[in-house]
Amino acid sequence: MRIIIVGGGVIGLGIGWKLSRLGYQVALYERNQVGRGASWAAAGMLSPLAEAHTQEAELLRLGLESSNRYPEWVRELQEESQIDIDYRRKGTLMVALDRDDRADLQHHFEMQKSFDLPVDWLTGNQARTLEPALSPRVVAAIHCPSDLQVNGRLMTTALTVAFQKAGGKLFEQTPVTKINIKDQQVTGIHIDSEFVPAELVIVAAGAWLSQVKGLPKSYQYLIRPVKGQILGLQMDTEPIISHVIYAPDAYLVPRSNGSLVVGATVEEQGFDTHLTAGGVFELLRGAWEALPGIYEFPIVDTFASLRPASRDNAPILGLTPVDGLILAAGHFRKGILLTPVTCDEIAQLVLTGIVSEVIKPFNISRFETLNLS
């Protein structure tokens, strides 16, 4: 079977790697350079506990399942690529800086406990025992000890290497002009005037799904771009923190190379990717309030990218009404977290033709008010 993947972020690369290992002929087409979109900007925290929400029970289960798969995913990926992706098991601290923050955090903690999640409530002093550099203003915290993190850029590089080592064909700077669909059946893709036949096309185009021509018109309403600005600071010789810190107005992610990622804005600005003074200011303010020691750290990186958000902010995974067309899109702020479960389950779907119970709730059919034919 000839398989084409449209989109070269961690999702497209990961699916391509898994399918190539199973012996399929896989060609991946990326409009720019692989992994230089949302995957490159991702801070890499794997925080299903910290990011749990009352209305997202199914998404929480998916995130926990993916988190459970991460150790084996990392082992295989690092073994095959020979690249260390900075997988860390340090946990997350969610901190409150005043009475109102504390009330919000207490409500969040009660919701987490209602899901029976392994989290702990800490006083400000207890939080500073874990992370002495936290601000004296921190009055309370939630400790999520089983949350994880990776370096998204290193993971992107490792997936690129592993995919090609497994026999996958990679085409960068090669936008797909059109997906060819005839009588509700995929027949291949067009690259400019060239037709490339395929029995199966997997669209993992992220925020650009709406720009992929040839899909049913209603698909352009499924995914919207959500802009995120992110900063990279350089810590001193000794890292200032070891946990991921969720502050009220920023998150801070330490990496083994001494960098400190500060993110991220959430902006409905279409396809605009400009950094703004206001966005950078708010990130730095939010980070400094929780961690005053960043004040003199140099800024070594700035980036803005587009997260792919679906109509309900959950991913769209699996089969579509078009025979031979699979979607793996709309991961929004959880793309890195959901990479193992997405790639494993899509590969198994291709292999067996069976939609697993794990991804069934995330099928495109849930948007039944749209005409998806």
Q: Where are the domains of the chain?
A: 2-81+152-222+312-366, 92-146+224-310
Question: pLDDT tens digit string along 302-337?
Answer: 999 999 999 999 999 999 999 999 999 999 999 999
Which range has the worst mean pLDDT, 41-45, 107-111, 160-164, 204-208?
41-45
Q: Per DSSP, what are the bridge partners of residue 179?
A: 189
Mean per-residue pLDDT for 58-83? 97
Q: What is the mean pLDDT of the chain?
A: 95
| Residue 270 tokens, joined | 């279409």
Mean per-residue pLDDT for 8-20? 98
284: left (phi over 0), alpha (psi -120 to 50) or beta: alpha
pLDDT band at 54; cut points 50, 70, 90 = confident
Question: pLDDT tens digit string along 71-128?
Answer: 999 999 999 999 999 999 999 999 999 999 999 999 999 999 999 999 999 999 999 9
Q: How many CA atoms lie within 13 A of 243 on its CB side?
A: 27
Give this prediction's pTM.
0.95
Write down the residue that tokens 């699916």 correspond to: 15
Q: Alpha helix (H) ranges present in 252-373?
A: 277-290, 339-352
Distance from C-alpha of 166 to C-alpha of 14, rounded to nearest angstrom: 11
Which range has the worst mean pLDDT, 51-55, 85-89, 168-172, 367-371?
367-371
How far, rounded to the nearest angstrom, does the alpha carbon of residue 135 sit from its chain's CA centroid? Answer: 29
CA proximity to 228, closest of 304, 332, 120, 175: 304
Distance from C-alpha of 9 to C-alpha of 158, rounded to nearest angstrom: 12
Mean per-residue pLDDT for 202-224? 92
pLDDT band at 370; cut points 50, 70, 90 = low
Q: What is the DSSP string of 98-110?
A: SHHHHHHHHHHHH
Cβ-contact 261, 43 below 8 angstroms:
yes
pLDDT (0 to 100) of residue 373: 47
Q: What angle do CA 241, 243, 249 make, to 5 degrees?
A: 85
| Residue 203 tokens, joined | 């669209």
First to last CA, the chain: 25
Q: What is the dihedral of CA 256, 262, 267, 273, to 10 degrees?
A: -70
pLDDT (0 to 100) of residue 371: 52
pLDDT (0 to 100) of residue 238: 84
pLDDT (0 to 100) of residue 172: 97
pLDDT (0 to 100) of residue 218: 86
Mean per-residue pLDDT for 27-33? 96
Over 80: is that where the pLDDT of 372 sits? no
| Top-confidence residue, 54 or 228 | 228
Cβ-contact 235, 36 below 8 angstroms:
no
Over 80: is that where the pLDDT of 369 sits? no
Name the CATH superfamily housing domain 2-81+152-222+312-366: FAD/NAD(P)-binding domain (3.50.50.60)
Q: What's the CATH number for 92-146+224-310?
A: 3.30.9.10
Sequence-distant (6+) residues with CB within 8 A of 173 are: 30, 31, 32, 33
